[in-house]
Amino acid sequence: MLNWFLTGANKARIQDPEKIKRMYHSARVQSVTAMILGYGMYYVMRMTLGVAKKPMLEAGFTPTQLGMIGAAMLIAIAVGKFANGFIADHCNIKKIVPIGLLGAAIVNAILGFTDQYWVFLVLWFINGCFQSMGSAPCIVSLSQWFSKSQLATYYGVFSIAHYVGEGATYLGTSMIIIAFGWHAAFFVPGVACIVLAFIMYRFMRDRPETYGLPSANEFEGEVEQEKQEQEVSTKEAQMLVLRNPYVWILALASICLGISRYSISSWGVVFLQESKGLDLVTAGSIMALSPILGGVGSFLSGFISDKIFKSHHSVTTIVFGIIMLIGISGVCFSPAGAPHVTAAFVAIFGFGLGVILCFVGGLLAVDLCPRKATGAAMGVIGLTAYGGAALQDIVNGLLMDSAKVVTNGVTVYHFDTIMAFWIGSVTIMTLLIVPTLWAKKHKDSDEAA
């Protein structure tokens, strides 16, 4: 049964150049579009909890319980991403990603009928197992269909999927909760994504060679790059990833990225409600600016780094880490009576995050590793990034519980320590990128040797 997931055998090479061009163009457009929409819906399946926190608190859940539920999913994603990254280097991606969406959708639909803490904890963990089947396999697919020189650009294009899903969650889920209650926010999108999973399977592709096409590097005329890629086996390439010290420095940075990114996406709405006094729809609308501007940042990330920073990706990452720091500080310290100011800083944070996510979230590590080990590189980064994401849910929940004050039956939450936690994570992440300024030189020296 497991053999069904493996990549297919190479077919006899097609000799007609025009047919090859047509097939490449069709496969690229259909596959990338399917991955953007499908992986975007992965995020809807994982982010509903962040928008529904306030009504769930009112329904009897505690901040600590919600933090543990969120952490359960993120722990599952962390471990699953590491495993699925290594597995994806050997598999037919067309069969992995849609199944992950289908499983997550079924779990969400079931959660629309329960309000029991332990049921949520277990099923949200299972949701995380399915969620881990998305990102790393998608990047493997991109590395199969686009040459090394194209990968940064199309990685940025694909990365808008995160923000398609986040924007749909902040706006759509808020409206569903207002209209039908928080249970419907899990059930309705879950049913929709069951259908979308089958559509995604229809339009995704296995690697080019299984259709009689040349590799992406060969198709684009990057013969020397393809020659280097073929000098090592997939297993050898994966071991090179594990032995690369800069990959592990990036892994540490990704822990901080996971903390800052998911602190805002998971706790940002309730933070604006409690700290800034905003209603759910206004808070959700402001937070929607983060994925919208993040999508713009991700889409432009390759262009910004290649054209403005002359392909010095580490420099790009440091600059936008500082922009993220300005944004998160502004969100934390903007006055309660100025939602437009808060919205502006959310937008700044989101744009910086959109660019950062492409590089710290995988591209810096992928760029330092052979194409055959793309999944392994993404797996290492995914493990630590979602480890940080899981950590933030536990820490934020405990900090919020410990800082609450009950006066005359009214509960008020204070966020001073939480804000320091958020700002500190962005600061450390940015500092950890500095050593990678020498990573490319180190790789080139190793290749020359």
Burial 147-184 (b: 16+ CB within 10 A, else e): bbebbbbbbbbbbbbbbbbbbbbbbbbbebbeeeebbe
The whole-angstrom separation of Cα 68 and Cα 353 is 25
pLDDT for 398 beyond 70: yes
pLDDT at 302: 79
pLDDT at 447: 47
Distance of CA 195 to the CA centre of its chain: 22
pLDDT at 202: 93
Q: Which of 406, 45, 121, 421 is nearest to 267 (CA)?
A: 421
pLDDT for 391 beyond 90: no
Tens of pLDDT, residues 171-209: 888 889 999 999 999 999 999 999 999 999 999 999 999
pLDDT at 436: 86
Pairwise pLDDT comparison (319 vs 57), residue with the higher score: 319
The average confidence (pLDDT) of the chain is 87
| Structure-token pair, residue 340 | 């437009």
pLDDT at 449: 46
Identify the band that residue 441 occupies on the pLDDT scale cut at 50, 70 and 90: low
Answer whether 259's CB lies under 8 Å from 427's CB.
no
Q: Which residues pair with 406 in a beta bridge?
A: 411
Q: What secondary structure letter does DSSP report for 146?
A: S
pLDDT for 212 beyond 90: yes
Tens of pLDDT, residues 218-275: 888 876 665 666 667 777 877 877 888 888 999 999 999 999 988 988 889 889 988 8
pLDDT for 370 beyond 80: no
Q: What secondary structure letter does DSSP report for 16?
A: -
In this structure, the number of other CB atoms found within 10 A of the CB of residue 306 comes to 17
Answer whether 313's CB lies under 8 Å from 301's CB.
no
pLDDT for 418 beyond 50: yes
| Average pLDDT of the residues in 61-65 | 88
Q: How many residues belong to the chain?
A: 449
Q: Which of 26, 14, 443, 368 is nearest to 218 (CA)?
A: 14
SS3 for 150? Answer: coil
Q: Which residues pair with 404 in a beta bridge?
A: 413
Highest mean predicted confidence (pLDDT) among 55-64, 121-130, 239-248, 412-421: 121-130
pLDDT for 443 beyond 60: no
Q: Which residues pair with 411 in a beta bridge?
A: 406
pLDDT at 319: 96
Q: What secondary structure letter does DSSP report for 301?
A: H
**Alpha-carbon torsion (276, 282, 287, 290), positive or negative:** negative
pLDDT at 284: 85
**Alpha carbon of 96 to those of 33, 99, 438: distances in Å?**
16, 6, 35
| Average pLDDT of the residues in 324-353 | 94
pLDDT at 118: 93
% of the chain beyond a pLDDT of 70: 95
The whole-angstrom separation of Cα 158 and Cα 142 is 9
The whole-angstrom separation of Cα 93 and Cα 207 is 8
Region at 404 (left for phi over 0; alpha for psi -120 to 50; beta for the rest): beta
The arrangement of secondary structure in 24-206+234-448, i.e. its CATH architecture, is: Up-down Bundle (1.20)
Kindly report the pTM of this predicted structure: 0.74
435-441 long-range contacts (CB < 8 A, ≥24 apart) are: 435/246, 435/249, 436/246, 436/249, 436/250, 436/314, 436/317, 436/364, 437/312, 437/314, 437/315, 439/246, 439/249, 439/314, 439/364, 439/368, 440/314, 440/367, 440/368
% of the chain beyond a pLDDT of 90: 40
Region at 212 (left for phi over 0; alpha for psi -120 to 50; beta for the rest): left
pLDDT at 330: 96
Identify the band that residue 448 occupies on the pLDDT scale cut at 50, 70 and 90: very low
pLDDT for 122 beyond 90: yes
In this structure, the number of other CB atoms found within 10 A of the CB of residue 361 comes to 27
| Average pLDDT of the residues in 157-171 | 80
What are the φ/ψ torsions at residue 406 (nearest 5 degrees)? -105, 120
Region at 215 (left for phi over 0; alpha for psi -120 to 50; beta for the rest): beta
Give the type of residue at 212. Answer: G
